[in-house]
Amino acid sequence: MDIKKLEDFATQVRRDILRQVHKVNSGHPGGSLGCTEFFTALYQGGIMEHKPEFNMDGKEEDLFFLSNGHISPVFYSVLARSGYFPVDELNTFRLIDSRLQGHPTTHEGLPGIRVASGSLGQGMSVALGAAQAKKLNKDNHLVFSLHGDGELQEGQNWEAIMYAAGNKVDNIISTVDVNGQQIDGSTENVLPMGNLKAKFEAFGWDVMEIEDGNNMQQVIDGLNEAKTRTGKGKPVCVLMTTMMGNGVDFMMHTHAWHGKAPNDEQLENALSQNPETLGDY
């Protein structure tokens, strides 16, 4: 595994994120920047067996569901640069009649998008349905999902988490982006989540942690470890600690850039910290 190549890919994705939200002065750069390594690992690092020749049936391949859909800029960038649709379509982010809406939707038929995820808290339920369908179809592939830590304040998550363990849905790997920030402030100040590891374990999940979700090697190793834990009677949870706004110094250590676009000067500063590696769209 060429970690430097993956890191370069992630750097270009950060540029894509920044340029997308800047162009329309709208979007969510903070969480997107924090999850670049995760998405890069999934789609470029050999973690997920997927097919750019997209089919909504999703048979005989691993599936991914993004629950915290507002971080669509990172998802769109990685899908485009993984061959799902033309990279220059990133120019249409959040424009009227674009397939790249602020929150992913399915009716535009954008390859790679399997579920609309504008409303928080629903992704776990959808992913579990897909995982159970794979079991019924004797399809041994895995289902991956991503959730925000603040998103876990939505009660539907915990119903799904309880259901998954109660029904031994052991072909799912649900990752929680633990960045400690949400739109109104830190999760600790808005609504403390307590010990997430203990909570998931109490609900019957196999829980592991990635200490630095912005370290490509740790993300690759952690997700590969998670895959070895599937098929053993328990759903798998990965608690991945990241930095919101990672890679742009003035966006880090704060919730302020959860849903705010950089101005021209800020964009120039941010891009200078993330040099072009694969070519801008």
pLDDT digits (tens, 9 = 90+) for 216-251: 999 999 999 999 999 999 999 999 999 999 999 999
Whole-angstrom Cα distance, residue 23 to residue 261?
A: 9
Query: How confident is the model at residue 61, as a pLDDT?
Result: 97
C-alpha distance from residue 194 to each of 12, 188, 227 (Å): 35, 8, 26
Over range 208-214, report the average pLDDT: 98
pLDDT single digits (tens) 149-181: 999 999 999 999 999 999 999 999 999 999 999
Whole-angstrom Cα distance, residue 114 to residue 247?
A: 29
pLDDT single digits (tens) 115-147: 999 899 999 999 999 999 999 999 999 999 999
Handedness of CA 48, 51, 54, 59 (dihedral sign): negative
Q: Is the pLDDT of residue 1 over 80?
A: no
Query: How confident is the model at residue 213, as a pLDDT?
Result: 98
Q: Is the pLDDT of residue 21 over 90?
A: yes
Q: Is the pLDDT of residue 262 over 90?
A: yes
Query: How confident is the model at residue 31, as a pLDDT?
Result: 98
* 3-273 is a CATH 3.30.70.260 domain: no
Q: Is the pLDDT of residue 110 over 90?
A: yes
Q: Is the pLDDT of residue 44 over 90?
A: yes
Whole-angstrom Cα distance, residue 242 to residue 21?
A: 21
Q: Is the pLDDT of residue 255 over 80?
A: yes
Give the closest residue to 34 by CA, choosing from 226, 177, 187, 210.
Answer: 177
Tell me the DSSP string of 15-81: HHHHHHHHHHT-S-HHHHHHTHHHHHHHHHSSSS---SS--TT-TTS-EEEESSGGGHHHHHHHHHH
Helix (H) or strand (E) holding 216: helix 216-228
For 25, the token pair is 């002065």
Asked if residue 28 lies in contact with residue 259, where contact means CB atoms within 8 angstroms, the answer is yes
| This model's pTM is above 0.85 | yes
Phi (first) and psi of residue 38, to 5 degrees? -60, -50
